[in-house]
Structure 1
Amino acid sequence: MTAADADAYLARFRRVLEFIDAHLDGDLSVEGLSRVAAFSKFHFHRQFSSLFGMGVYEYVQLQRLKRASYQLAFREQRSIIDVALESGYEGPEAFARAFKKRVGQTPSEFRKQPRWEPWRATYQPLSELRNRHMKPTPQASQVRIIDFPETKVAALQHRGDPRRIGDSVRTFITWRKAHHLHPSRSATFNILYDNPEEVAPEDYRLDICAATDLEVKENPQGVVSKVIPGGRCAVLRHVGSDDTLAATVRYLYAEWLPQSGEELRDFPLVFQRVAFFPDVPEHEAVTDVFLPLK
């Protein structure tokens, strides 16, 4: 098999993974997915498990329950029964049994207070699979240099274990809703002070921000006013899961920057969250990565 043949073979399976992302509330039978890949239904399930290390049914269930967990944790307006039905279950009881078996909490317990450490352990195989088979391949032509405008933001300062960022996101959503700063009207940013791979978990720092000119008064959530300074930035759009976002960041630092002749400005990396999972399929989530330049 040539390299081109191998790439074409893997591309057919990437289409399947993207199709699953986009149709989590639809028919995801082995027969239907084999047609997406244009493989024989008699062999597809063995091809899938041999390549990805898990069966089709297990992968589909994990992806459905991952989306469900995001809806439970971050979209409180979605009822548990609606989440259950959209996840392919006939009712909340079957959904609760499957969810607890995978996550270790019932849907209502997870909605009230998620336990992120076991949740991450459950979904680590999915993260590894995406990093192996759905990693972005940025090109220098996709990097733009822009003048980023000075932007006032309301910021929640996450300090500590990056595995607990979900708790900070939930807190920030509560504040944001109370102040009517919906993401459709108020751009969402992250300011990344540290690389989680290079600092101790207790030292990790990240800000979760919403653009606003409103005065941020003292509040129980601990949200404060900050400013993202204006200036030149290289910007690269990442389309896909947060699981593969590190590869886009690594490209900017390791490949684009050394060849660009540019020098970095003394301000951290900034993300703008343009389209969010679970509101869009995971492979269609959009994050703009801003690298501050002199």
Structure 2
Amino acid sequence: MYEVHISEKPPRRLAALPHTGSFEEIGATFGQTCQLLEERGQLGRAGCMIGVYWDNPILVPPGGLHSHAGIDIPADMAVDPPLEEVRLSGGRHAVLRYKGPYSGLGSAYRYLFANWLPQNHELQGEGPVIEIYRNASMDTPSDQLVTEICVPLL
């Protein structure tokens, strides 16, 4: 149904803004993150957008979910408030490559957690689930959006 592979993800450093609430509403926070970096002349040195999801939406009500809307940045780039530096440790991850509108991510998550992980005898490890956005909704048709869902593994 979906393409999933195991990958060794590198450590990453992000400039990010925190987001509290439904994960589906993080888009505006990404817009603010990009705007701040653009205003500071830093967006050109930044990499891809990365969503960092700290909570399990099955266990935490939508209003209490915590995440970060981040952008991959080089080691020497300054991170000034209100942006926060978020460091991701990397390591072994299950990576599901999803192509399509963001509204379809829920079914990709269900497949990954309910089917792929148990069928492959893998368990979720410590750390956040991240989404790496390989292109952006502002310049890509929704059916061509590519999102990598990355789940840390034990």
User: Greater helix percent: which structure?
Assistant: 1
Q: 128, 136, 145: which is aligned to 1:268?
A: 128
C-alpha contact (below 8 Å) 1:191/1:269 kept by paired residues: yes
Aligned-pair CA distance for 1:198: 4.4
Q: Unaligned stretches of 5+ in structure 2?
A: none
Aligned-pair CA distance for 1:232: 0.4
**Cα separation, 1, equivalents of 2:22 and 2:124:** 27
Is 1:278 paired with 2:141?
A: no
Q: What is aligned with 1:206?
A: 67
Q: What is aligned with 2:19?
A: 158
Q: What is aligned with 1:224?
A: 84
User: Greater strand percent: which structure?
Assistant: 2
C-alpha contact (below 8 Å) 2:13/2:85 kept by paired residues: yes
Query: How do 1:115-130 and structure 2 match up within 5 A?
Result: none
Aligned-pair CA distance for 1:197: 5.4
The one-letter code of the counterpart of 2:26 is I
Q: 174, 181, 184: which is aligned to 2:43?
A: 181
Larger radius of gyration: 1
**Cα separation, 1, equivalents of 2:150 and 2:129:** 6
Is 1:249 paired with 2:109?
A: yes
Q: Unaligned stretches of 5+ in structure 1?
A: 1-136
- Identity of aligned pairs, percent? 28
**Number of equivalent positions:** 151
Q: Normalising by structure 2, what TM-score?
A: 0.87
C-alpha contact (below 8 Å) 1:215/1:225 kept by paired residues: no
The one-letter code of the counterpart of 2:149 is V
1:94-128 Cα distance to aligned partner (Å, 9 max, x none): xxxxxxxxxxxxxxxxxxxxxxxxxxxxxxxxxxx
Q: 49, 55, 75: which is aligned to 1:194?
A: 55
Q: Normalising by structure 1, what TM-score?
A: 0.48
**Cα separation, 1, equivalents of 2:95 and 2:140:** 22
Aligned-pair CA distance for 1:195: 4.1
Could you say which structure has the greater relative contact order, defined with CA pairs below 8 angstroms and 6 or more residues apart?
A: 2
Aligned-pair CA distance for 1:200: 2.6
RMSD value, Cα: 2.0
